[in-house]
Amino acid sequence: MFRKILSLGIIASTLLFGCSSESEKEKDTLNIGGTAFRKGDLMTEDVNLGEMAEFNSDAPGTSVKLDRSFENAPPMIPHNIDAFLPITLKTNSCVSCHMPEIAAAMKATPLPQSHMTDYRPDIAKTDGKYAAAPEGTVVKKDLKGKLSATRYNCNQCHVPQTDATVMLKNVFEADYRVEKSKSSSNLNDNITEGVK
Ligand code: HEC
Ligand code: HEC
């Protein structure tokens, strides 16, 4: 038994030794300034993006809105947000322009009704057990203009765009049921679609 382990060990170390000189060889052949989509030395983990992508520098009020990626997709942020991040417990600059009561004056898109609605089921205690609302029930509690805490972290869903060029073309085409969905959302109105 011991001998078996010993000889296995010898075989393994020979293989390991063999591998390392093999990868030295590979390094020489692959280090050709980039193959496929990655530029630079393929044998290092240093990121080499070629050119650094730049975020859009347009200030809010001067940017051009982007079409929604598909019906009720979170719209992408068309303006620069450098000065508005990070969003913390105490500060959220986004709401200072996007809350419905302020948005018009700021010429910003107001938050949709979905952001001021609680879709979480009530948890009820019956016979000592906690359970959510019965299956098939769609909870839709109007928060009367108050932002839902689940929507507080805006850039979890809404992201700015860069000028990065991508080598793989995106061939997805949105199929809007109504033309209006290209530039506006109505998730709260049809949230029960496919459920009820
Ligand atoms: C100073 C006011 C202001 C602040 C702060 C601000 N925005 Fe905006 N936002 C605007 C305006 C105005 C527009 C409309 C496009 C324009 O005119 O630049 C807009 C557009 C958008 C849009 C696109 C809406 C659409 O209909 O396509 C999104 C999404 C957005 N902002 C998200 C954010 C997020 C997230 C933050 C915080 C990180 C933020 N905004 C901070 C004013 C603001
Ligand atoms: C959990 C993901 C999520 C978070 C967090 C979130 N949004 Fe949205 N947002 C969406 C989606 C999805 C839509 C489009 C569907 C809808 O809700 O009507 C949307 C739509 C919007 C719109 C377009 C409204 C319209 O009438 O077309 C604006 C503006 C917006 N969000 C701003 C914000 C801001 C500002 C915050 C932070 C206070 C925020 N969102 C947080 C997912 C999110």
117 C-alpha to ligand 1 centroid (Å): 20
Q: What is the pLDDT at residue 33?
A: 52
What pLDDT, in 10s, does the model give residues 5-32?
545 444 444 444 444 445 555 555 554 5
pLDDT, mean of residues 161-182: 89
The pLDDT value recorded for residue 165 is 77
**Max CA-CA distance within the chain?**
83
pLDDT of 39: 63
Distance CA 85, CA 91 (A): 9
Q: Give the pLDDT confidence score for residue 45 in this predicted structure.
A: 74
Q: What is the pLDDT of residue 123?
A: 80
Residue 84 has pLDDT above 80, yes or no: yes
Is residue 76 pLDDT above 50, yes or no? yes
CA distance 116 to 113: 5
Ligand 1 close to Cβ of residue 81 (< 6 A) = yes
**Range with lowest mean pLDDT among 81-85, 114-118, 160-164:** 160-164
- Tell which wins on pLDDT, 131 or 9: 131
- Counting every residue written for the chain, the total comes to 196
Residue with the bigger pLDDT between 8 and 141: it is 141
Q: Which residues contact 195 (CB under 8 A, 6 or more apart)?
A: 136, 138
- Closest residue to atom 5 of ligand 2, CA basis: 151
Q: What percent of the chain shows pLDDT beyond 90?
A: 53
| Alpha carbons 60 and 108: distance in angstroms, whole number | 8
List pLDDT tens digits, range 87-124: 999 999 999 999 999 999 999 999 999 999 999 887 87
CA 27 vs CA 3, 16, 35, 42, 73: distances in Å:
36, 16, 13, 8, 44
- Per-residue pLDDT band for 50 (boundaries 50, 70, 90) equals low
Mutate to test the pocket of ligand 2, among 115, 119, 186, 188 (most ligand atoms within 8 A of CB): 115
Least confident of 43-47, 67-71, 99-103, 123-127: 43-47
- The token duo for 169 is 């073309």
Ligand 2 contact, 154 CB (< 6 A): yes
Closest CA to 61 of 101, 97, 91: 97
